[in-house]
Structure 1
Amino acid sequence: MTFSFEIPLLLLLLVTAAGAILVKDLMSAILLLGSYGFCLSLVWAWLGAVDVAFVEAVVGAGLATVLFLLTLFGTAPKDGRLRRPPPPIAVLIGLPLLGALMLYAANDLPTFGDPNSPSNSYVSPVYLERSYLDTKTPNVVTAVLMDYRSLDTMVETVVIFTAGLVCALLLRRKSHGTSS
């Protein structure tokens, strides 16, 4: 397997995530978070999850960035810079330790593209064989997203709608209560 795209893409993802956390300017943080969402959508596309990549590009890189920018433009100019104390020493030690433990645990995961992995041996054949019988939908992807995972898809839609509604409520101008 070649790492010609994977390593630079992973590094770009880590740089945008770290930049969004470390930068002090809110506008820069918002733009870096949008870049992070775009890089993450590229990762999902590279891994073959095109539907997840599309949702990440639309919601993570697009909609979230627009909503964050609208929220930032609706705030007072003095709120443009972040003022945060330095992180505690436990965080500076604990997060790299957690990352190292996660990388160590990742050794037990099946290799990418392994045809004998549990998901390819047990889950995928059931979906491929039974999707039309269970759902009467000829497209397996549609059957999985809209029939097998319909509750999950509905809840995701509710979460996105609620986030948009909260941003709209935060940004609305108060027209009542002002005296002339």
Structure 2
Amino acid sequence: MEAFIDIVLFGFLILTAIAIMRLRNLFAVVMLSGVFSLLSAGLFVVMDAVDVAFTEAAVGAGISTVLMLGTMAMTSREEKPPVHNRLFSFAIAVIVGAALIYGTTDMPPFGSPDAPAHQHVGPDYIERTPKEIGVPNVVTAVLASYRGFDTLGEVAVIFTAGIAVIVLLHGRTRPARTARARKKEKDV
């Protein structure tokens, strides 16, 4: 049953990605991006990665969608036709994809107990967490205690990005809308 749910979610992810690539209406693309993030969050829940699912739902479907809608309010609603050669872009994407696939051939097999992460770091955290921290969830203990400065750095980056977005969006209005408003004022 779990495999069936995975297949259905992956199918919807693929259909959503194809729809995003084909559409020119930016509002529909933004909404489908939010749907894609929610589907990804559902897939993470099925894989028992609830913490990642919460992050994906909050950031991917929530904050990103709101920011894209805010950006869209200042720009047009339709994508302009591309002026560059699509064949060159496709060739670059194929080359990069092939390089990434080639890079995965050197990785240990999926779920292999002989992987480097399973030999040193993982068992060390699992062994030390109950004695040193006493938090029942090992992932929470690792993020909050052992990797606390890393998590603090991530929070600082997200905070800085939020401030940058506020500064960029502050006081800006869409020129087309203000021109229409001026025209209506003249007509009245």
TM over 0.5: yes
Instruction: Name the SS for the 2:61 alignment partner.
Output: helix
Q: Which has the larger radius of gyration?
A: 2
The 2-side partners of 1:110 and 1:34 are apart by 32
Q: Please give the residue correspondences for 1:35-54 in structure 2 after superposition, counting only pairs within 5 Å.
A: 35-54=35-54
TM-score, normalising length: structure 1: 0.75
Name 1:15's counterpart in structure 2: 15
Partner of 1:27: 27
Offset at residue 122 of structure 1 (A): 3.4
TM-aligned CA deviation for residue 164 of structure 1: 2.2
1:161–1:20: structure 2 CA closer, same or farther, 3 Å change rule?
A: farther
- Distance 1:125-1:55 versus aligned 2 partners, 3 A rule: same
What displacement does 1:60 show? 0.7
Q: Aligned partners of 1:21, 1:155: CA distance in 2, in Å?
A: 34
> Over residues 31-76 of structure 1, what are the superposed CA-to-partner deviations in whole Å (9 max), with x where a residue is unaligned?
1211121122222222222111111110111111112112222x15
Paired residue secondary structure (1:4): helix
Which segments of 5 or more consecutive residues in structure 2 lack a partner in the other structure?
174-188
* Shift of residue 156, structure 1, vs aligned partner: 2.2
Alignment equivalent of 1:142, drawn from 131, 140, 144: 140
Alignment RMSD, CA only?
2.9
Q: Distance in 2 between matches of 1:37 and 1:58?
A: 9
* CA deviation after TM superposition for structure 1 residue 115, in Å: 5.0
Shift in CA distance, 36/2, structure 1 to aligned 2, threshold 3 Å: closer
Tell me the SS of whatever aligns to 2:79: coil
Aligned position for 2:160: 162
Return the alpha-carbon distance in structure 2 between the equivalents of residues 129 and 174 of structure 1.
54
Shift in alpha-carbon separation, 1:119–1:158, aligned structure 2, 3 A: same
Per the TM alignment, residue 144 of structure 1 is displaced from its structure 2 partner at its CA by 0.7
State the aligned residue count.
170
1:71–1:167 CA contact under 8 A, matched in 2: no
Are the counterparts in 1 of residues 35 and 61 from structure 2 also a CA contact under 8 Å?
Answer: yes
Q: Counterparts of 1:5 and 1:94 in 2: how far apart (Å)?
A: 33
Helix, strand or coil: the match of 2:17? Answer: helix
Counterpart residue type for residue 109 of structure 2: P
1:80 aligns with 2:77: yes
User: Is the Cα contact below 8 Å between 2:2 and 2:46 reproduced in 1?
Assistant: no
